[in-house]
Structures are given as structure tokens and as C-alpha cells.
A = this chain, B = another copy of it.
Amino acid sequence: MDKLRLMTPGPTMVPPQVLAAMAGPMHHHRTAEHRRIFREVTDQLRYVFGTSGDCLVITGSGTAAMEAAIVGVGGPGNKALVFDGGKFGRRWAKVCAVYGIAHVVCELEWGTGAKAAMVEEHLRRDPAIDTVIVTHSETSTAAVSDLEGIAAVTRSRGAVLVVDGITSVGALPVKMDEWGVDVAVTGSQKALMTPPGLGIVAVSPRAWERIESFSSTSLYLCLKAYRKALATDDSPYTPAITLMMGLRAALELIRAEGIERVWSRTACLARATRAAVQAMNLRVFARDPADSLTAVMVPEGFDETALRRRLRERFGIVVAGGQDQLKGRVFRVNHMGYVDEVDALGLIGALELVLAEMRHAFPPGAGLAAAVESLAGA
């Protein structure tokens, strides 16, 4: 028997209700049926993002959605501050470069997040900066930024805040309207428990003012076209109908559980996992660890690829390796979406068995004991 357990930080496991919803008969998107699906999806997305603003659904990856957001707010007269603390932050700086958007890059030590004071300092030093691009949870390092604090600064300074929430929205607390986040982006395949293929961009009225003030330099990724179509519960281009059907089912699950409970479940799993790996004499990579995923360091000289292969072959568990400079140095475990205490304990148990086989030294049972203790206290 090969029972696959996808524990990567996206794509994440898809609930059977979502798989079933996607296998229904194909319908056409310019019909009342689809408009109803579309309306339900966008309503539920507002709940998840904590906003009464527009939630636009783009057929594409999370990168497509972030590109649309950045190009949308990055006009000829604007200047952006981009935080680069990993593979994804780096990508958003690249988007600015490709489109010729004026920007400065603030490099973060990998494993740390952006802080409010850094934003404050940059805005003070360079008054031309009117846009801040921050990755809430950096998927490559599993580090979190202080989104609430940063939003307080950008709001008071009048800068537009664009947030990569790809591994945060629906997993970590994000309260767009309450905190004053202007644009937030996510993808379907993370906390939203749907297969990859949809990028979502939530836009505040303040961000729309900026976006509407200049001509777009992209057609497919022009947010204005999505906004116009939204008025009639429609998409400007043919949407990924099955994924929309799946997303509706997934959002119903989130609504039924309640978003605060989803956040606290995710945080509990993250805490238990961090406690467990430390009890197994492994280290958590991030100094500012995100609760949506954990990057676990392997000891110097340890064969990280063999560890993942054994987890896959013996237990059907798939975790992610490191990216770029972290390749071979960390593996990454998901806490977002359709994952619960039993899944987390199963992974830790399997890790114990594989690490023991690979002669990594730690007290047998210590990981599971630490995890159980953490979960019991939660």
C-alpha cells in the first residue's frame, strides 16, 4: 500500500470534499450557475482576508498574483521598499526590476522577518518611498514578518502596503481592514486547501486609488480588468472553473471551523513540531519562526536528501527540501490547511524512526513526548 501524505508547505493536502467538488460536470462560466459560485467564493475570501474590499481571483500561480499586485501599484512616479529575506522576497524585487519600477531592497538575514522599525527607518530616510512590499511568511526560510506592526507604520505614513501572504492568509492571523493592509495576495494551494492554479489578490479602496491612477503595463495581469468583471460576478478571461468549484468547497470548510480556530490549530501544530524537533536534537532554522510551516536544520554533513527519501519510501510522507542557499541544509514541513494533530504526530513519529535508522543521536521517544506535551498544554 502506498498511502501518500503530502506534508509540503504547498501544495498541501486537499480534502476529499474539495476533490469531489472538482469532479462535477463541467459548466460554462458565463452562466447563472457560475456567477453564484463566483459570488460565494469572493464573499468567503473577504472573510478569510478580513476585508470588506475586493477579492480578485486570477488563474495563475501565487507569483502571477503578486506580479499583478506589484505592477498594479508600481506606477511611473512611485518608489517601493522591498524586503528580501529569502527566495520569494527576492522574486518581488525582480518583478520591480523587470517592469522598471523604482525600488530599494532591504536585505534581511535569512530566517528573520521584517520589523516595523525597519520600515519606519526606511520611510524616514527616503521620503520618496510610497510603497512597501513585504513577505508575511517567507516560504523558503519559514520566517515571519511583523505584519501588524508594519501596517501601523505604513498606514500612519500614507504608504501603500503590499503583502505576499501566500503561506500566511488562512493560516496566520491577517486582518486586512483592521490592521490597514492595502493589498494582500495568496494562492489556492496553501492554507486554502485547493490544488494550485488560482492566485488571489485582495485590494483596499486606498490601493484602488493608486491602481486606477495610471495605465497598466500588462493585459492579463491588469487588476482593473478583474475589478470591472467582478461587478457582474465574472472574470475578464476564462476562469479555472474546476478549481473555483474546489475553492468554494474548501472555503465552506474554513467558514464552518471559524477562521480564529483555524489560526489557533495551525499555531498549535507549529509549536508542537518545533518542540519535537528540538527534543530530537535538531534546530529550527528561523529565528523568527512562522506558524504556517517549519524549516528544520539537519546537522552538518547529514544527508538531507536521504532523510526525505526514507520518509517518502517507508511512510508515504513528502516534506520539502531547502531552496537556493538552504538546499541540503533544511527540510520544510507544512502546518497549513487540511492537517491536524494526528498528522503532525504521525510525521514526528516517522521522523524519529528515520533519524534513528540514520544514526542521528537523540533520546528515543523524545520528539513524540515533546509534541504530546505541547499539544496537551494547548
Contacts and interface: CB of A to CB of B under 8 A. Distances in A.
Interface of A: 4, 6, 8, 10-14, 19-20, 22-23, 25-31, 59-64, 67, 91, 94-95, 98-99, 187, 189, 195-197, 215-222, 237-243, 318, 320-321
A196 B240 contact: yes
B27 A196 contact: no
State how many copies of this chain the complex holds: 2
B196 A59 contact: yes
Contact of A26 (B6, B25, B29, B94): B6
B62 A59 contact: no
B20 A220 contact: no
B67 A219 contact: yes
A88 to B, nearest CB: 11
A197 to B, nearest CB: 3
Given A29-B11, A240-B243, A197 B59 contact: yes
B195 A26 contact: yes
A299 B117 CA distance: 69
Contacts of A95: 219
Contacts of A99: 217
B318 A31 contact: yes
A17 B221 CA distance: 33
A197 B243 contact: yes
Nearest 10 pairs between A and B by C-beta?
A: A197-B240, A61-B237, A195-B242, A63-B237, A23-B23, A14-B26, A64-B220, A196-B238, A19-B23, A61-B238
Given A99-B217, A241-B195, A13 B28 contact: no
A337 B151 CA distance: 50
Nearest to A195: B242
Given A195-B240, A217-B217, A220-B221, A6 B23 contact: no
Contacts of A11: 26-29, 238, 241
Contacts of A8: 28
A30 B8 CA distance: 10
Nearest to A28: B8
A22 B25 contact: no
Contact of A98 (B20, B63, B195, B218): B218
Nearest to A216: B98
A28 B238 contact: no
Contacts of A22: 19, 22-23, 242
A28 B320 contact: yes
Nearest to A321: B30
A23 B195 CA distance: 10
Given A14-B26, A23-B23, A63 B4 contact: no
Nearest to A70: B219
Contact of A242 (B59, B64, B242): B242
Given A22-B22, A189-B238, A318-B28, A98 B217 contact: yes
